[in-house]
Amino acid sequence: MQVTSHSLAWLQLQYKEPHRAIPPEEASKDSAIVITMLPTGDIVKETLLGEKGILKGIPKNSLLVDCSTIAPKTAQDLSKIAKSNGIRFLDAPVSGGVVGAEAATLTFMVGGEEKDVNEVKPVLLQMGSKLHHCGTFGITMIGTAEAMNLGIKLGLDPKLLVSIVNVSTGRSWSSDTYNPVPGIMENVPSSNGYKGGFGTTLIAKDLGLAENAALNCGAPLLLGALAHQLYRTMIINGYEQKRFFFRL
């Protein structure tokens, strides 16, 4: 398998000779499958739709898989644009954090056509250990939210949602894998000044997406809204570079 990379960390890829490509248009040329995983919806749109974006270079009928956590409406819009350009699209956000990425144990929650999901499944399972097909575009990010009620209102099957949460970080991951108290565990961010990885800014962004989705479908998200404000307060107070479980 030839891997083409457009990433600040491209040298860390576990392939002997990854081909570095800049810009995204070049990275997507001659690719049957293109995978993106980016911080925000605006960055995803620029990477896909920009002047030198992926849709400028990706071959027709290729499969574009976005693993970013973005708003459902953004995923739906990107799916329509990709389809109008002859490109197949999957919405596939992940759960598992940096630990899951490093250990290739991520959980993928994939929205899109079943045949496309089956095609990309062997590739995604090189990076993760579990994959759930969650139906149509733009609802799969709800699998990482706190509220079962929100997931149900957005169209997710309750049993499917539970199965995702039970194999994701929502279980007891924060206590037995990434304990937030310094000195409890070795080789975790809490014992290294909470540096690097999934930061406060990103978790605030994700909570904002969930809060907006709840507002749009009329589902209460009281604890989620409170958590969002707490993380926003951390950012205002200068802790935006700290890991999301930073303790004051």
Question: CATH number for the 181-248 domain, one of 2.40.110.10, 1.10.1040.10, 3.20.20.70, 3.10.180.10?
Answer: 1.10.1040.10
Q: Are 100 and 93 in contact (CB under 8 A)?
A: no
What pTM did the predictor assign?
0.62
Contact partners, residue 122, CB within 8 Å, separation at least 6: none
List per-residue pLDDT tens for the chain, 248 residues long: 566 656 545 444 444 455 555 788 988 988 999 999 998 889 999 999 999 999 999 999 999 999 998 888 888 899 999 999 999 999 999 988 777 888 999 999 998 898 999 999 999 999 999 998 887 654 433 333 344 556 656 676 766 765 666 566 555 454 455 555 566 557 666 666 666 666 778 878 888 888 888 888 888 887 788 888 888 888 888 876 665 555 54
pLDDT at 95: 85
Q: Are 145 and 122 in contact (CB under 8 A)?
A: no
Measured distance CA(145)–CA(118) in Å, rounded: 25
CB neighbour burial string for 221-232, b if at least 16 within 10 angstroms, e if fewer: beebbebbeebb
Q: Are 93 and 164 in contact (CB under 8 A)?
A: no
In 10 A of CB 39, how many CB atoms? 16
Fold of 4-171: Rossmann fold (3.40.50)
Q: For 50-94, where are the alpha helices, taking DSSP H only?
A: 72-84
Q: Which two structure tokens, joined as six digits, stand for 179?
A: 């304990």
Domain boundaries of the chain, sorted by first residue: 4-171, 181-248
Query: Would 4-171 and 181-248 be classified into the same CATH topology?
Result: no
pLDDT at 206: 82
Vertex 104 angle, CA 101 and 109, to 5°: 75
Q: Are 31 and 61 in contact (CB under 8 A)?
A: no
pLDDT at 63: 97
